């Protein structure tokens, strides 16, 4: 019998498979089609202090082996997430969850993280620092080591739960950003968020997305994500959650060999709502095929 359990920031998960934020709603939506308690955990929809209606449509564009999205963090705001969304999730999911928090200023991040920290079922706080810093000309917090360090310190000062910083690949040196987060007290990092991309409507001769650019995800980005996980594993000693184009159990194992402790599944959920379930069911068979007894033993095993 193979062992799929992993330990993420001191929390034991039955398996390393976690639906990525923004691709699984608040989780309970999927409970209508299968028992979501098979998941290791789940990262719920990106949440901000105030409600957001998101970007204008169209927000989605297809690409070869992937998709572009520019949803714009549509969510009901932290207070309604706590009062309305999380109780619905608790009713159908008994495992630890990951809260994904976004913001456009330090105050945004600290207020939302402080509020979510008191929720018992929330075991991890995943802080998305790919958002534009409105007080610094719109540059992403995650594009500058000092800004990433500043956000990490601010969030750690108001939370008691493990803080996992979610990093953007749209930088020259993602390992440098990860090191800055670690030095500021981050308990882990998750990577990668989407790659910036563009599609043009040939008939209209205009960008397909109303917001012009969007985030590229799907199988096309898997080699880039794997490279980033590899580089960050060599740079930090805190756990890594790998994501970006993961769509099979073999992808999960490849991510873990590169250095990931846990793995998030994103765009695959939008193609097949049973994607995570299928990956989890197939994982023991793939482990047996590759003669892996304990999944946690292979973390960073390719280095």
Query: CA torsion angle for 212, 269, 162, 252 (degrees, to 10)?
Result: -110
Closest CA to 12 of 189, 239, 278: 239
**Pairing mode of beta strands 66-69, 97-101:** unpaired
- Known catalytic residue: 9? no
Residue from 9, 131, 228, 276 carrying the catalytic annotation: 131
Phi and psi for 51 in degrees, rounded to 5?
-60, 145
* Three-state secondary structure call for residue 102: coil
Euclidean distance between the first and the last CA atom of the chain, given in angstroms as a whole number: 26
DSSP state letters, 239-295: -EEE-SS--SHHHHHHHHHHT-SEEEE-HHHHH-TTHHHHHHHHHHHHHHHTT-SBG
- Give the active site residues: 131
């Amino acid at each position: 019998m193979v062992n799929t359990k992993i330990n993420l920031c001191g929390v034991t998960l039955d398996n390393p498979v976690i639906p990525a934020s923004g691709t699984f709603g608040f989780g309970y939506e999927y409970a209508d089609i299968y028992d979501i308690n098979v998941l290791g955990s789940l990262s719920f929809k990106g949440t901000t202090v105030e409600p957001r209606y998101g970007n204008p449509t169209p927000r989605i564009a297809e690409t070869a082996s992937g998709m572009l999205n520019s949803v714009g963090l549509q969510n009901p705001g932290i207070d309604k997430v706590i009062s309305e969304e999380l109780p619905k999730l608790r009713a159908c999911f008994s495992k630890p969850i990951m809260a994904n928090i976004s913001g456009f200023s330090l105050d945004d991040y600290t207020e939302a993280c402080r509020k979510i920290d008191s929720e018992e079922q929330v075991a991890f706080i995943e802080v998305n620092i790919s958002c534009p810093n409105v007080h610094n000309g719109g540059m992403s917090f995650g594009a500058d080591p000092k800004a990433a360090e500043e956000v990490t310190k601010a969030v750690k000062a108001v939370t008691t739960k493990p803080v996992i910083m979610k990093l953007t690949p749209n930088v020259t040196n993602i390992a440098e950003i990860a090191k800055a987060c670690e030095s500021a007290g981050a308990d882990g990092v998750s990577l990668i968020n989407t790659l910036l991309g563009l599609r043009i409507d040939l008939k209209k001769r205009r960008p397909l997305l109303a917001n012009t650019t969007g985030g590229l995800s799907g199988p096309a980005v898997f080699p880039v994500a794997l490279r980033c996980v590899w580089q960050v594993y060599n740079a930090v000693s805190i756990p890594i959650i790998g994501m970006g184009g993961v769509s099979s159990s073999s992808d999960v194992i490849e991510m873990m060999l590169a250095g990931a402790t846990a793995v998030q599944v994103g765009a695959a959920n939008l193609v097949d709502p049973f994607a995570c379930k299928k990956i989890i069911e197939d994982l023991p068979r793939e482990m047996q095929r590759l003669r892996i007894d304990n999944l946690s033993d292979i973390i960073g095993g390719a280095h």
